[in-house]
Structure 1
Amino acid sequence: MSAHHRIAKCIHLYYQQQSITCVDIDIFEAFLTLLFQEAGQDRGLNKKQIASINRAITNTPTGKQRLLKRARDEALQYFIQVCDWTLPPAKVQQFKDHDHLWIVSLYKRSALAHEILIRYEQASLNHIKQRGEPSLAWTFLTMMIEVAPLPLNYWCDRFNDPTPLERIGDQMTITITHLSNLSYFDANEPCSFTRYALSPLAARAFYNWQQIPDEARINITLTRLLQALNMEFLPANRSKLTSYQWQQAIQTLWLNRFAIPLEILKDFSDPMRHVSELPIDLNSSHSERSNVMMQSSPSTNVTSHNKHHDLPFHRWPHVQLIKSYNNTQKSSPSQPDWQASNLLPRLLFDYVQDLIEFGGVNKDNLSQSTLTRYTSFKSELSNAPLSSAIVETKESLQTWAENIYLTIPDDTMEKWSMYQFFRFLTQQPITEHLDLSNIVKPSQSIKIDALTLSAEEVHHLITQIFMSDLSPMQALFTAVSAILSYYGALRRGEVLRLRLQDIRCTQEKGQTFTLYISNTTEGKTKNRSARTVSVVIPKVGAKLIRLLLAFKACRPTKEPFIGFQGESIHLRARHYLLPITKLLKQNHGKKARFHHLRHSGAKLLYQQALCLANNETPETWQPCHLPLTKQLLSTSIVAKRFEYWLQGRDFSELNNMLLFDEIGRMLGHQYYATTRLHYLHGMEWVAPAFLPQKRTYSHAELRYLWGMKPDSNDIARILTDLCDDYSQLSLLDKKRHNPSLDHITLTKKISSRLQLPRSSDNQGKTHPYNDKNHPDWLSLWTHKIVNITKTEPHHFQWETREQLSGLNTQPENFSQVSEAWRAFGQYQGLKWRKSERTALLPLGQLHVEASKKFSDINGKPGFQEAYFLTPCNQKVAKALNMLKQSALHYRCHITLHQNRKQLDSHKWRFIQESLLRGNDTARKVIIPTGKTHLKITLMIELSNSALLTHFQTWWNTMIAHNL
């Protein structure tokens, strides 16, 4: 089967599932031949390519030309919806015209829809009062009217699927599985699906349908369903309806009853427009192991580049790991160190270790031959090392992956195995920014990385940052990065490139900030366009933003907001985004990554926008265990966020569709389709914003919901429980009392009767949150800062309370703090084990010449001098070598003070051979008397003499403790 034929079958199946007529598979295949002669590797076509395809179609001499034109429109519509293609505006407008015709056709069916509704309401009354066996047609219409007007084929598949309903939070839900050929998830994952919210009536109706005994159950086909619908609910004078016409009739009911925007109606009508999240498997053993893997990241412990590294690379350590697997006579090799010149040996080793420990998707245990096949692509990697420099930027990593992937022949085991390895890379903290969407063929359905976090989970993450062992300034920069990414829905590059001039607090000690996202010298935005983002951040986070702004008040406005002076964007990504990724994986599974903070922020923005449109917040969005979410969706916060947009106007004065455009603009999306498909996961949480969540119930309906007999008198007990004032009513009033109840109340009451399992969805794993007891992050940060007197003898801590306390009142000192950060090892720190401290003893006491300073290349004083006075021997050489291996940043100058009577000694040659490294310098001074000795001078780039004195005191204390 050719590739074009497979794609043609997928397109045909897509329209068939939608109950929409389309051209035959062979016509699609003929058009695809023309299409891929012009299309490249991009997901889309330009005007020139479309014009060339149109000319080729026009050259067809027979009536096949008409079919090819139709195939063109149907195939391109498929590629837009399923494969995320972009087309020129003129072609997009053509599809918008089709949407207009679709709306017109819906309104034309208003009379038919009204007739169907009248018959349905009468049937509902009879069914609820008389019961009997569940009716296929009535149950189906209940799901269409109460849940979603999906294509009939989807409902047929779901009626045949025994998967039970689920309860998520305070909602009853149903999952609709997508076509397996068009799944948005990878092949070794479950098929993608969309989750919809159920009304109590729909939940009871579908539950009763699933209770039909297996021996009495029939397979529901489209033909059988249409026959039942046309027979029971179509007026006698009407012609039989097709499946598409039935869907349109119910869509018309939705349009008239709920008055929802057309884009939202399409969302409810097509499961392929939204993707729900897979349940997260927080396997404890895997979490523990992943923590170990993440702790040994190449950001801290990397073997330097080997100039003699040979290509192609053949010494793969994972090969020995595979050979030792299930071999009791051969011990397993140890995990290799990270190599800066090539990270692949370690990454492949970890990948195989994962396969050995956790197995494959279908099997728990994999054989040696299978492991070898799964890593058969190693020959392609032999000539393409992945250096630490490549993984620093998304662009270089993306280019590396795409170039390798293109070298492997299509439809081979190697290509599949390579893709699985790339998926593994996206789950590693150092390579999480690899984008697989550019690797998958443009004709294949895109892959959706569906995961969102609640505000409570994001705040828990930030609290963890301050509770971790990160240094104070690293924790502050990291926490602010997480806050901006979530509340601003920013991409990782946008967070890192944000400059001081790009963030503005609209009022003193306020919570509203305006972020300006633009192209900078460090990189461009994804769509090459600038945008502004208005955010409202809770007080606990706004304090940190304002604190950092105060710290940097005297810095140039074009300096990055995140990070120290002179810190490169690559180091900022490693120091401040990588810790966030590690915590996300620890809390939410190995698929979680930094970009999911943007997903979560996009959902928050969408929810706030819908609260603005409705002038209220749905109850299901503000449960009692999510008080922070409730606060963020409050009327006051929503009004503050959109104040810039409304400009004093009421929302009712605006076109409601402009709100979707504004959401896309703030996210940097040109089309709403990008937002809904990639960021708004699931439909169950969308429903409360558009569909009524409260209605009046008769006694018969309540008996039906509780599964009671139609004439049961036990309804009085139910009503007493539901209505506080029911017991005070007279007997006559009790019989007439029809309570008005919301979905949440009934969900809590009848879930157990419907045997609804609680899903392991994100809401089920939300961390407890108490607004009153919420830790103040500023206090946590302050608590991390130690006094000079509390500095540990074996660990030098320059970020002391004395050093940082002045930043708020003297922001000009930030340059001194940046100097200290560079001089004292950035975030690696100066920390020695006891054996290492013992090795340093021969250097002795550290001395400081406060009066002597060096200048930098511009003549600006910036270097201070400290020195050791030592003998010239092997012990000193070992001690100096230990010091040079530390993170202390200095230039070394050695002065040999040699007694004139010992000029024939080998001291000078010993210095040249054993003590000097790199840019070190040395000189010799002849002294008339005294012992020959060394003066080892350390030139440290510091302008703050007090800090050097602090380092001197700490060093001498450490030496004294180890004597």
Structure 2
Amino acid sequence: MARRGLTADSVFEYRDDLGLTCEKQEHIQWVCNILNSLHISERVLSQQQLLLINQKIRSVPTGRQRSLSTALNQVLLYLNEICDWQLPKTTESVFRDESMIWLLGILKKSECANRCFRRYEQQRQTFMNQRWRNMGWTLLVLNFEVAPLPLPYWKKILVDPSSIEFFEGQFTLKVPHYKPIATFSNDNIASFTRYALPSFPLKVLQDFYQLNSVNNLTIKSLLNAINDWVNLDPYYFSPMDPAEWLRTFQSFWHHHYVIPPALLRDLSDPMRHVATLSNSKQSPIGVKKEKALYQAPLQQAWNLKAHTPKTTRTTYWPHKALIKYYLKGSKVQPIKPATPEWDLENVLPKLFFHFTDELFTEGGVKQENLQPRSIERYTNFYHNLSSLSFYDASEPEKLHQWAHNEFERLNEQTTPWHLYNFLRSASHQELTDHLDLSLFERPELPSLVDSFRLDVSQVNRTVTKLLSSPNGNAMQRLFASVAVLLGYYGAMRRGEILRLRLSDIRVSAQNKQLFDIVITHTPEGRTKNGKTRVVSALMPASAAKLIRILLKIKSGSCGNKPLLGFEHESIHVRASQYLYPATQALKMLFGSKVRFHHLRHSGAELLYLQGLHLVYQRQEGHLEDILQDDATVEMLTHESCIQRFDFWLERRPFSQLNTGLLFDIISGQLGHANYATTRRNYIHGMEKIVPLLKPACRQYSRAELRYLFDLPAGSNDISRILNTLSSEYSSLSNKAKKQFQPILGESQVLKKLKRNQFLIKNNILPIKKTRSIDDDFASQWISSMPVNYFDKQITTFHYFCQALFTSLNKGDLDFNTVNAQWHHLARGKFFSFTAKERTALNTLGKPEVIIHQPQASSVETLNLQFQCQCNQKVLDAFIALCHVGSFKHYKANFVLQQNRKSLKSSKLNMVKTQFVRRGDSVNKQITQTGNTQLIITLETQMPSKKLKPILDGFFTHLTTKLG
């Protein structure tokens, strides 16, 4: 796949759309050629590379040098803004100068913008009765009431009625990007962003679509239309070019809505943000997926110590059987091949199976249906790849290193596109969803944004799913749920959550729902930007209580131990035990494309909305009908917003701070060096932002309401509409009714407009409101676990039960003891015996639980002692239970007590050759009387504290039930 490289067309088109001055294309292309010759493989330009380019520019002997220097700055700005390149700090001053020039151009249009808007408002009142339809008028309405956009974007919107879309409680305007910058972009779904579409511009645009059937609009025709319109009464403006008009509209928004420059650029440049897709079409929760929740990706994952060396065994590739199944057809081969399990030595076979299955069921990027032979061709590079172990796949750095190595090693002409598609599939699998695809995209192309987001209720649903699952144990459910809460409310990366230590999180003394989280370097890894930051995380009461429960459980443990997990677990084991189930739950509820990292994206958006609520002093209900989620609205109360930013406010009124720093403060909380990264990758669309800039309610004239509801000018039928819109209207006198102009919210008007024939024709559903529930996570967690360690009906030993946590809460147990007991119980599979093992246990007899005092330790431990005969039946039972069963990890001490009259028997040889395993010990005792018996003592190394009577009762219950 040959690379085209950076071209002047992309840079010129971007700057021209925004009305920015641009050097000649030949100068831009000269700079692009120099950059292409450097063969830069990542989105980073080093200081040395910049010096090299400047040296080549200075080598030009003529005044063309100045033009090339300007062209370089313009190309670098494009690479930074659109392609997300990291540039040397020496370029920051150039970008500041460019921003100042841009803002100065806006300020120069202040008087023109003010005059134009005053006359627009005057004409707007006249319009309500005369109701003309004109392209120039439509452009004025859209720029003043929706957003100040460049003419090329309005050109695309005005020829496409599908640009209007009802989305999340309001009408929106879908604005297409001129180049794809969304991960969801393909031939069926184009990359776009969204803007809120209020009722008045909505109606004007609908009327324009109904009257006009224009497919040949040009920028010139749009410009002529708006210039011709303002050349008449009441404007009498001289013609302006596209850049001047854009600056005029930007100036209006800047001053009228008090929008800071950074947000104004977001508002007026659709390429700076990507809308999220509707998540209404969610994958149903399959029974099989439900059962798989909390099942470790590998049965031996909890016991992984290090990378397992490769063997010479032949790798089995199950995706080949899947292709064969589709080639032959279901009639020839009725049973579809089952999804394979994860392989410890190589996870690629299962990843390829998923990749192949997706190609069959979902199609390719460009074609909806693919032939089996095509899919076989797209996947036939599998044998060229190096194996990827489970351990390396679990570690982000090792996974990325493996992918980079494969890209560099494989032939560029044959596999890079197929390999990239395979990696795209892998990034949506639970095990490898931390794969960052931006590292493998062509750096000269716009960087792609993954814009999925979740609201508070969806996060609550995920936590509820994790807590209420019958699978896993109580601590696993707690750890996984806390990981979700930290990912969302702390907007933390998965690695930051896994490395978080007990000493890194503390509850605020003033507010138990507020947590200060230190994200810093640990022996397990470093922060992404190499710096330490402190995150302030405000959570709802129920979520905060769950965090405090975990901190209470682990109180007394060493501060440098991980918050999530047990002491003996490595970071990749913790990832598979706690983050893997969280990812599984997200995919079950919201579709296969959701990743754990989307929690961070969603938390960043919540933080951004909280900040804007403070700046514009909005009430919590301002976005209520747009958010459609009471739980999210509750996080946007003035009190919640103040508490969330308390680390910055320090109990000072918000008005006393430099609000211009807000975006930098938000970026700092996310660990971003600058706001550009935050706004591009984490702020999705403008449909929630623009409504925040405007008051929640405004006054509607009777004439405007007649227009909106398709009533003739002067119609008295408006009284019927007013009766339904305003409760006070009916109580007014007839004279007062004629003067009445209601103050309404946009949603009140929309609820009436939903009956509009346009909405019915386009199959737009009525507004639906999702009511949140009062989730009590602590109660859900407690009710998900057994009351006691065992009961009369069940033969399984449940270590993590309500009785254990009661002891922890009272202080009868500490987590260090629990950690040690759990570790040694886990090695015995929690005493969860199979039917065969229970039979073997019945043969050996009830074990006596003995307290043992090791010589090198002050902690008393427990031993299990069996007294039994030494015969073949006992040997078979011991093999089933201790050679391959639940007790196989416990060291055994054998004492053969023989009567002095039977010393010639072969019992001792039987014990030494058939009973004993590596590490076991054998002793012989001679007795004067009695039969020969074998005493087997299993050293569990479990601390005995509080556990001896519990195990005594359990084995009594178990052997009695078996008997």
| Cα distance in structure 2, aligned partners of 1:882 and 1:762 | 61
Give the match's secondary structure for 1:55: helix
Query: Is 1:525 paired with 2:527?
Result: yes
Alignment of 1:745-756 (within 5 A): 745-753=748-756, 755-756=758-759
- Answer whether contact 1:195 1:276 (CA < 8 A) is retained: yes
Give the match's secondary structure for 2:431: helix
- Answer whether contact 1:276 1:682 (CA < 8 A) is retained: yes
Task: Tell me the equivalent position of 1:320.
Answer: 321
- When structure 1 is superposed on structure 2, of 671-680 and 939-948 the one drifting more is 939-948
- Answer whether contact 1:894 1:934 (CA < 8 A) is retained: no
Alignment of 1:84-123 (within 5 A): 84-123=84-123
| Cα distance in structure 1, aligned partners of 2:917 and 2:829 | 21
Give the match's secondary structure for 1:400: helix
Task: Tell me the equivalent position of 1:651.
Answer: 654
Q: How big is the shift at 1:176? A: 0.6
Query: Is 1:682 paired with 2:681?
Result: no
Task: Tell me the equivalent position of 1:337.
Answer: 341
Q: 1:768 to 1:489 in 2, by over 3 A?
A: same
Task: Tell me the equivalent position of 1:486.
Answer: 488
- Answer whether contact 1:891 1:920 (CA < 8 A) is retained: no
Give aligned pairs, total.
952
For 1:173, the aligned partner's letter is T
Q: 1:362 to 1:98 in 2, by over 3 A?
A: closer
Give the match's secondary structure for 2:424: helix
For 2:495, the aligned partner's letter is G
- When structure 1 is superposed on structure 2, of 657-666 and 122-131 the one drifting more is 122-131
Q: How big is the shift at 1:789? A: 5.1
Task: Tell me the equivalent position of 2:229.
Answer: 232
Task: Tell me the equivalent position of 1:176.
Answer: 175
- When structure 1 is superposed on structure 2, of 942-951 and 368-377 the one drifting more is 942-951
Q: How big is the shift at 1:425? A: 1.3
Q: 2:713 aligns with which of 710, 713, 716?
A: 710
Q: 1:956 to 1:731 in 2, by over 3 A?
A: closer
Task: Tell me the equivalent position of 1:944.
Answer: 944
| Cα distance in structure 1, aligned partners of 2:765 and 2:634 | 19
Task: Tell me the equivalent position of 1:615.
Answer: 617
Query: Is 1:433 paired with 2:434?
Result: yes
Task: Tell me the equivalent position of 2:603.
Answer: 601
- Answer whether contact 1:267 1:274 (CA < 8 A) is retained: yes
Alignment of 1:156-305 (within 5 A): 156-183=155-182, 185-187=184-186, 190-212=189-211, 216-234=213-231, 239-280=238-279, 282=281, 284=283, 297-300=296-299
Give the match's secondary structure for 1:163: helix
| Cα distance in structure 1, aligned partners of 2:767 and 2:400 | 35
- Answer whether contact 2:171 2:198 (CA < 8 A) is retained: yes
Give the match's secondary structure for 2:82: helix
Task: Tell me the equivalent position of 1:735.
Answer: 738
Q: 1:761 to 1:36 in 2, by over 3 A?
A: farther
| Cα distance in structure 1, aligned partners of 2:486 and 2:909 | 57
Q: How big is the shift at 1:156? A: 0.3
| Cα distance in structure 2, aligned partners of 1:833 and 1:191 | 54
For 2:732, the aligned partner's letter is L
- Answer whether contact 2:73 2:94 (CA < 8 A) is retained: no
Cα deviation 1:394-414 (Å, max 9, x = unaligned)? 1111111221122233364x2
Q: How big is the shift at 1:584? A: 0.7
Give the match's secondary structure for 2:400: helix
Query: Is 1:630 paired with 2:628?
Result: no
Task: Tell me the equivalent position of 1:356.
Answer: 360
Q: How big is the shift at 1:795? A: 1.5
Q: 1:760 to 1:313 in 2, by over 3 A?
A: farther
TM-score when scaled to structure 1? 0.91
Alignment of 1:460-499 (within 5 A): 460-469=461-470, 470-499=472-501
For 1:717, the aligned partner's letter is R
Query: Is 1:392 paired with 2:394?
Result: yes
| Cα distance in structure 1, aligned partners of 2:337 and 2:901 | 56
| Cα distance in structure 2, aligned partners of 1:379 and 1:161 | 47
- When structure 1 is superposed on structure 2, of 432-441 and 819-828 the one drifting more is 819-828
| Cα distance in structure 2, aligned partners of 1:355 and 1:955 | 52
- Answer whether contact 1:555 1:812 (CA < 8 A) is retained: no
| Cα distance in structure 1, aligned partners of 2:916 and 2:188 | 57
- Answer whether contact 1:165 1:756 (CA < 8 A) is retained: no
Q: 1:932 to 1:686 in 2, by over 3 A?
A: same
- When structure 1 is superposed on structure 2, of 578-587 and 69-78 the one drifting more is 69-78
| Cα distance in structure 2, aligned partners of 1:247 and 1:353 | 48
Alignment of 1:368-383 (within 5 A): 368-381=372-385
- Answer whether contact 1:489 1:601 (CA < 8 A) is retained: yes
Task: Tell me the equivalent position of 1:79.
Answer: 79
Give the match's secondary structure for 1:227: helix
Give the match's secondary structure for 2:172: strand
- Answer whether contact 2:491 2:602 (CA < 8 A) is retained: yes
Alignment RMSD, CA only? 3.3
| Cα distance in structure 1, aligned partners of 2:761 and 2:668 | 36
| Cα distance in structure 2, aligned partners of 1:659 and 1:137 | 37
For 1:809, the aligned partner's letter is K
Give the match's secondary structure for 2:195: strand
- Answer whether contact 1:496 1:572 (CA < 8 A) is retained: yes
- Answer whether contact 2:260 2:660 (CA < 8 A) is retained: yes
| Cα distance in structure 2, aligned partners of 1:765 and 1:869 | 69
Task: Tell me the equivalent position of 1:786.
Answer: 787
| Cα distance in structure 2, aligned partners of 1:946 and 1:504 | 30
Q: 1:450 to 1:351 in 2, by over 3 A?
A: same
Q: How big is the shift at 1:744? A: 1.9
Query: Is 1:724 paired with 2:727?
Result: yes
Q: How big is the shift at 1:644? A: 3.2
Task: Tell me the equivalent position of 1:35.
Answer: 35
Cα deviation 1:346-381 (Å, max 9, x = unaligned)? 222233233334443555543221121121220222
| Cα distance in structure 2, aligned partners of 1:394 and 1:927 | 62
- When structure 1 is superposed on structure 2, of 938-947 and 923-932 the one drifting more is 923-932
Q: How big is the shift at 1:496? A: 2.2
Task: Tell me the equivalent position of 1:423.
Answer: 424
Q: 1:439 to 1:524 in 2, by over 3 A?
A: same
Cα deviation 1:65-101 (Å, max 9, x = unaligned)? 3443233112111111111112223312211111111
Q: How big is the shift at 1:393? A: 1.6
Q: 1:688 to 1:239 in 2, by over 3 A?
A: closer
- Answer whether contact 1:183 1:445 (CA < 8 A) is retained: no
Q: How big is the shift at 1:312? A: 9.1
Q: How big is the shift at 1:641? A: 2.5
Q: 1:421 to 1:726 in 2, by over 3 A?
A: same
| Cα distance in structure 2, aligned partners of 1:819 and 1:714 | 78
- Answer whether contact 2:355 2:422 (CA < 8 A) is retained: yes
* Structure 1 residues not aligned, in runs of 5+: none
- Answer whether contact 1:167 1:757 (CA < 8 A) is retained: no
| Cα distance in structure 1, aligned partners of 2:349 and 2:765 | 35
- Answer whether contact 1:807 1:813 (CA < 8 A) is retained: yes
Give the match's secondary structure for 1:897: strand
Q: 1:440 to 1:376 in 2, by over 3 A?
A: same
- Answer whether contact 1:625 1:768 (CA < 8 A) is retained: yes
| Cα distance in structure 1, aligned partners of 2:592 and 2:390 | 21
Give the match's secondary structure for 1:339: coil
- Answer whether contact 2:44 2:86 (CA < 8 A) is retained: yes
Query: Is 1:861 paired with 2:870?
Result: no
Give the match's secondary structure for 2:153: helix
For 1:232, the aligned partner's letter is W
- Answer whether contact 1:19 1:153 (CA < 8 A) is retained: no
Identity over aligned pairs, percent: 33
Q: 1:485 to 1:547 in 2, by over 3 A?
A: same
Task: Tell me the equivalent position of 1:961.
Answer: 961
Give the match's secondary structure for 2:158: helix
Give the match's secondary structure for 1:695: strand
| Cα distance in structure 1, aligned partners of 2:556 and 2:760 | 57
| Cα distance in structure 2, aligned partners of 1:670 and 1:602 | 15
| Cα distance in structure 1, aligned partners of 2:327 and 2:642 | 63
| Cα distance in structure 1, aligned partners of 2:600 and 2:299 | 27
Cα deviation 1:789-816 (Å, max 9, x = unaligned)? 5275432111233322121231762111
Give the match's secondary structure for 1:431: coil
Give the match's secondary structure for 1:942: strand
Q: How big is the shift at 1:629? A: 2.2
Q: 1:229 to 1:791 in 2, by over 3 A?
A: farther
